[in-house]
Structure 1
């Protein structure tokens, strides 16, 4: 099926724990995650699980998903906030985020997509999750945009990215803005050095300002727009080069 549509992806069955028993009724009964899917018109080359900290999919985010589908990928975006009733919560992390990734990954493999042709693309703390996915999941490539938690772990994150970077198992691309207080340049430099010690390809790019975000409205300034185009092109090229 080509085009854009909504579906649900079953969660992997897990054994109940004491912590989960003490959780909310929603967590206890949650067996699937809603997903938005964009499929290419032609036979798919592989798939991309997109993780994004947004309660609603903006036109810019949907445009990015369509652009990736135009390149030949099935794009699956789990609705990460489906499990969170509090509208004031704007960040996601923890084990349930990885459960949502696994559900999207399994949805793709059930449709015949091979694991090594599946990539993950994450923004903000979901970009941090994409990095960690690349250290412990059998995927083909990962891209993180504006991922925090570089030198100090995020809440619910056991380790900082610089500490686990040598364990990367999938080629990883990181895109950062030099003026982002969540990812200061000195921390990004440390991450660049740490990922260079991994046994897979890595590339860490820092752009001036914050115009590298493909999920944000098009900037009015020509220089900022050139940065945006360059960052999008790098995402496309990274998946094109590594998902084979």
Structure 2
């Protein structure tokens, strides 16, 4: 059983952020940054962090909503406002703090990955196109591919060709046309990539856990292969 806690974290250089942390029960294989979904630190996010920690990863969830308490779920109207306030610079600054915290715990960049659902999946791709970490996984519904999720965020199709680390995208098949454009962009990058379509919501481990077993396993395999 992993030990999960939420606390303010401060790096040696003074940067600080509230984070939810889930520690593995035994030997640490590496570090994973989980980016939360639009409704904040939901039970889904906590379950994902706990599940990954149970696999041996030291997991940290940066609270990327500033000006709102990020330790609990927010309602849909507030979530829309908070998402609209995000920018590429802000999410990179927050994930950088998470990477720095993992580094302070002895985990090098090549053993660090990032993963997120929905909003978090979009952020994971932005990070993968901007930071030289070990690997990234997006478990996403299709938002933000052709049009930015917020005025300050890039469209994902515009950044995928600049991937700096191996990236896996798991998407629902109703976004097939947009995902195909995203796959083409990722294939133009110099990093390994794979983009898979699943029926309906079967890529969401929390919604259809039986049907999503393949998606969960592919995510684990991706990190196993690239975080060494």
TM range (shorter): 0.7 to 0.9
Runs of 5+ in structure 2 lacking a partner?
Answer: none
Query: Map of 1:1-244 to 2, 5 A cutoff?
Result: 3-10=3-10, 32-53=16-37, 54-58=39-43, 60-84=44-68, 88-91=77-80, 92=83, 93-94=86-87, 95-146=89-140, 147-157=142-152, 159-179=154-174, 184-214=175-205, 216-217=206-207, 219=208, 225-244=209-228
- In the alignment, the residues of structure 2 paired with residue 40 and residue 13 of structure 1 have an alpha-carbon distance, to the nearest angstrom, of 26
Change (3 A) 1:117 1:106: same
Which whole-Å deviations, capped at 9, do the CAs of 1:51-97 have from their partners, x for residues lacking one?
Answer: 01233431x43232222112211010112335337963215331322
Which whole-Å deviations, capped at 9, do the CAs of 1:91-140 have from their partners, x for residues lacking one?
Answer: 53313222221111111001111111100002222211110111111210
Q: Name the SS for the 1:104 alignment partner.
A: helix
Change (3 A) 1:157 1:175: farther
Which whole-Å deviations, capped at 9, do the CAs of 1:188-218 have from their partners, x for residues lacking one?
Answer: 011111111111111101111112212x34x
Larger-Rg structure: 1
Q: Name the SS for the 2:138 alignment partner.
A: strand
Q: Name the SS for the 2:94 alignment partner.
A: helix
Query: What's the TM-score once normalised by structure 2's chain length?
Result: 0.85
Q: How many aligned positions are there?
A: 215
Which whole-Å deviations, capped at 9, do the CAs of 1:150-200 have from their partners, x for residues lacking one?
Answer: 122232345322222221010001111123xxxx21110111111111111
Query: What's the TM-score once normalised by structure 1's chain length?
Result: 0.79
- Tell me if the contact between 1:35 and 1:77 (Cα under 8 Å) persists in the aligned partners: yes
- In the alignment, the residues of structure 2 paired with residue 13 and residue 111 of structure 1 have an alpha-carbon distance, to the nearest angstrom, of 15
- In the alignment, the residues of structure 2 paired with residue 56 and residue 200 of structure 1 have an alpha-carbon distance, to the nearest angstrom, of 30
- In the alignment, the residues of structure 1 paired with residue 78 and residue 4 of structure 2 have an alpha-carbon distance, to the nearest angstrom, of 27
Q: What is the CA-CA distance between 1:239 and the residue it aligns to?
A: 0.6
Q: What is the CA-CA distance between 1:13 and the residue it aligns to?
A: 7.0
- Tell me if the contact between 1:46 and 1:73 (Cα under 8 Å) persists in the aligned partners: yes
- Tell me if the contact between 1:192 and 1:204 (Cα under 8 Å) persists in the aligned partners: yes
- Tell me if the contact between 1:12 and 1:103 (Cα under 8 Å) persists in the aligned partners: no
Runs of 5+ in structure 1 lacking a partner?
Answer: 15-30, 220-224
Q: Name the SS for the 1:120 alignment partner.
A: strand
State the superposition RMSD in angstroms.
Answer: 2.3
